[in-house]
Homo-oligomer: A and B are copies of this chain.
Amino acid sequence: MSQTTAARADGRKPDQLRPITLVPGIAPHATGSVLIGFGDTRVICAATIEPNVPTWMKQQGVKGGWLTAEYSMLPYSTLDRKPRDIAKGRIDGRTVEIQRLIGRSLRAVVDLQKLGQNTLWIDCDVLQADGGTRTASITGAYLAARLAVQKLIDEKKLAENPITDSIAAISVGILESRELLDLAYVEDKDAEVDFNVVMTGRGQFVEIQGTGEESTFSHDQLQSLLALAQKGLKQIAAEQTAFLTKQLLGTLKI
């Protein structure tokens, strides 16, 4: 791993995560919710059950339930106010990509058959953006979904837990030839290479998206970045387990 000894802008070491904060119940009308923070990045993650499935599932006769995600940046989440999608009349391309990624990732650890004829909606609204909002969204969405599932089980609305594993995500990248874990915005905007890695608690990959816009990367750099991501994801999984253990007391079986 090629790197200088200089500290990062916020004083972190190259392989150091930002502090993670987790506030449960931020949106009490959701079935489950959490406010997740990675440093200054803060995302409201909510999971809401709806007793219905999409029209295409009915038309195609697909059994079981569905899980879908929506992602949005609140207009005051950025330093310069970001206009709402509805003010422009359409969702921008970046938002579409992110909400599809969140939905796809969560579905990898949910047995849709066990959801019954229900849709589990995942909503991620960014309250403060400082890099890594999509990976924070996935990490927090898992927690909101797990809390929602437990509530449904407690209320006898679900017979068993449809979630098969935990899931989390993190960014890694190359900035000025240094490989960095969990990029803050000032790092991300200038990074030569940018990876988002989604992984389960058992260490299986769910999604890898690596891009070198206006740049490229070698096979060795790829290997090194993946190792860095895996290291960070192991720590995040531990924090997820600690949080859920506390929230769900003895009832949790993750």
Interface set of A (CB-CB < 8 Å, partner B): 26-30, 33, 40, 44, 46, 48, 50, 70, 72, 74-81, 84-87, 89-91, 93-94, 96-97, 99-100, 104, 107-108, 112, 121, 123, 125, 127-129, 165, 200, 204-219, 222, 226
Contacts and interface: CB of A to CB of B under 8 A. Distances in A.
Chain B CB within 10 Å, residue with most, of A30, A79, A107, A123? A30
Closest 8 pairs between A and B when the two form their complex, measured CB to CB: A204-B216, A30-B76, A46-B76, A93-B96, A85-B86, A48-B81, A208-B210, A96-B96
Contacts of A226: 219, 222
Residues of A contacting B: mostly: mixed
Chain B CB within 10 Å, residue with most, of A210, A218, A222? A210
Contacts of A40: 28
A225 to B, nearest CB: 10
A222 B205 contact: yes
Contacts of A210: 205, 207-209
A84 B108 contact: no
A23 to B, nearest CB: 12
B205 A216 contact: yes
21 contacts: A27-B74, A27-B128, A29-B76, A29-B79, A46-B75, A50-B80, A50-B81, A70-B87, A74-B125, A75-B121, A86-B90, A93-B96, A97-B97, A108-B215, A125-B125, A204-B212, A204-B218, A205-B217, A207-B212, A208-B211, A208-B222
A27 B203 CA distance: 34
A60 to B, nearest CB: 12
A55 to B, nearest CB: 14
Contacts of A85: 86
Nearest to A110: B214
Given A89-B89, A104-B213, A127 B26 contact: yes
Contacts of A30: 76
